[in-house]
Amino acid sequence: MKRLFKDGLVTTVLGIALLLIATYLYMSKDHTSMEAAELGALALIFLRSKDSLIGLSPAEGSKAP
């Protein structure tokens, strides 16, 4: 279980799934665009997290404050 979270597989898959659902909601006529935007923002939070596979890591030469 620890390995899944360490490798970032869970947060990446969850973020991509939420992004696909948000796209479906945006294209659907049953939901508002605000609901799709909220879900899309949540998906981007998962995808940009530190343990995600596609999250941004700090540059090697620069120091974080």
Q: How many domains, in total, are found in the chain? A: 1
- Please give the residue range of the domain that contains residue 6: 2-47
Q: Is residue 40 domain-resident?
A: yes
Q: Tell me, what's the pLDDT at 33? A: 83
Q: Is residue 63 domain-resident?
A: no
* Pair 63, 26: CB distance under 8 Å: no
Q: Is residue 16 domain-resident?
A: yes
Mean pLDDT, rounded, of the chain: 76
- Pick the range with the lowest mean pLDDT from 6-10, 12-16, 50-54: 50-54
pTM for this entry: 0.69
Q: Tell me, what's the pLDDT at 31? A: 81
Q: Is residue 43 domain-resident?
A: yes
Q: Largest Cα–Cα distance in the chain?
A: 49
**30-50 confidence digits (pLDDT tens):** 788 888 899 999 988 888 777
